Amino acid sequence: MERHRYRVVAWWTSERTGIARSDSAPSAIHFASPPELGGLQGRWTPEDLLLCAVASCYTTTLRALAEDSKLPYSDLEVAIEGTVENTDSGYRFTEIVLRPTVTISDEQDRARALRLLQKANSACLLSRALSVEQRFESRVHMSESRVEFSQALPTA
């Protein structure tokens, strides 16, 4: 069995903004609370990042399936839309709609392309992970108290 681990660290920097870094990417991502919840305009939100993760996973899954089945295509676009609602248990995604569009040049490949589009939907790792039970391991760190002196200490 192969096992792969991925790691992301996020820091809350100020007000309603933060930075996230991945061990596998050279650039950090600046994120914020959604503007609808008092966050900043022009920053990725956790909701955007979740949808981006699902769309990019679907894209890479379809590319691999198309390559394995030798389906030629000239373009792939994956639009994704999520609906968040405030429910009795708090805000949650109530719907995620994935709209992939693949462009092929041969009409004879249409049925196979449709099958692969569907197969990628069920094979996408992140789509399947959305229902996985999450393990929660919290920690609290105490900062060391510092004593500051405004006068010099006597030396003996």
Q: Residue 65: what are its φ and ψ, rounded to 5°?
A: -65, -45
pTM (2 d.p.): 0.81
For 54-103, write each residue's pLDDT tens digit. 999 999 999 999 999 999 999 999 999 999 999 998 998 888 999 999 99
User: For residue 156, is pLDDT > 70?
Assistant: no
pLDDT digits (tens, 9 = 90+) for 41-55: 999 999 999 999 999
Give the pLDDT confidence score for residue 16 in this predicted structure: 84
Q: State the average pLDDT over residues 99-125.
A: 91
Query: Percent of the chain, pLDDT > 70?
Result: 84
117-144: average pLDDT: 77
Query: How many other CB atoms are found less than 10 A from the CB of residue 92?
Result: 11
Please tell me the CATH code under which domain 45-129 is placed: 3.30.300.20
Please state the length of the chain: 156
SS (H, E, C) the chain: CCCCCCCEEEEEEECCEEEEEECCCCCCEEEECCHHHCCCCCCECHHHHHHHHHHHHHHHHHHHHHHHCCCCCCEEEEEEEEEEEEECCEEEEEEEEEEEEEECCCHHHHHHHHHHHHHHHHHCHHHHHCCCCCCCCCCCCCCCCCCCCCCCCCCC
Give the residue extent of every domain in the chain: 1-44, 45-129
Tens digit of each residue's pLDDT (9 = 90 or more) over 94-104: 889 999 999 99
Residue 142 reports pLDDT greater than 90: no
